[in-house]
Structure 1
Amino acid sequence: MSTLQEVGDRESWRCWLCDEPVDPDMSVNDPRGPSIDSINTAKKGAKGKGKDGVERLAHRACNTKKGAVKPVVPWPDRLFVVDPAPIVETVEQLKRKGGRVAVARCPGKTDAEDAAAWLLDRLSRLAPEQRFETQIDSAGGGFLLVLKA
């Protein structure tokens, strides 16, 4: 188990859920204070496997809100995306299987380019060990944003 300082330094003091800065000097009891989110990545019922935990930095409120359920990393309201895919589940799928997944539809090419730039930047911190690329395809009067591993 890592210390808060070790996890914070590794995560560059950014909340892995909301991607906002975390103040290391703020009280751990404050909603915007730092906390460690231990994510169990071991599959239930897997024989011979113990808890395969990953420790990530989160604001106390983000960690509490998430609870023990699958985390949700939101798409920002400033992006014009329709039917956005859940980011964490999509990343997990691409890590396991590779390939490509359509992650959103956008009405304009500029909207799709903005969403692609944001997504690649966000994933560089969410899953720094994985390399992703985006592709924008014209589809049905709009544009389809595709994420590739």
Structure 2
Amino acid sequence: MRILAIDYGIKRTGIAITDEMQMIAFGLTTVASDTAIAFLKDYFSKEKVVLVIVGEPKQMDGTPSQSAEIINAFIAKFKATFPEMPLERVDERFTSKMAFQTMIDSGLNKKQRQNKALVDEIAATIILQDYLRYKK
């Protein structure tokens, strides 16, 4: 029984997943945002996911960011498609910066760090790791 995290963006959506025991978060993939629901339908048919975490982008003052409207539309579509799936929101204020720093710390070269899909996947993983840490 896994927990899945989504870093939803205008173009790309990073997806991370836990192991069966919900101890470790790791990047799963990045998909085009307009295919995210189809990807999730397929994934949920193969894997037992008990909770979905969606990043909630906020400004420094705590107000919703400009992408909040797009993410809220995705969540409405998600809930209509998967009405039984529990969904929680998690503050994702610094995850993209942290993902980029993680790539630097991991020794990835400049060309690899320009891979925005990888940044999104790492950001989703950070969102999920934060959730797991908070849950304990």
TM-score (norm 1): 0.30
- For the pair shown, which has the larger CA radius of gyration, 1 or 2? 1
TM-score (norm 2): 0.32
Higher relative contact order (CA 8 A, sep 6+): 2
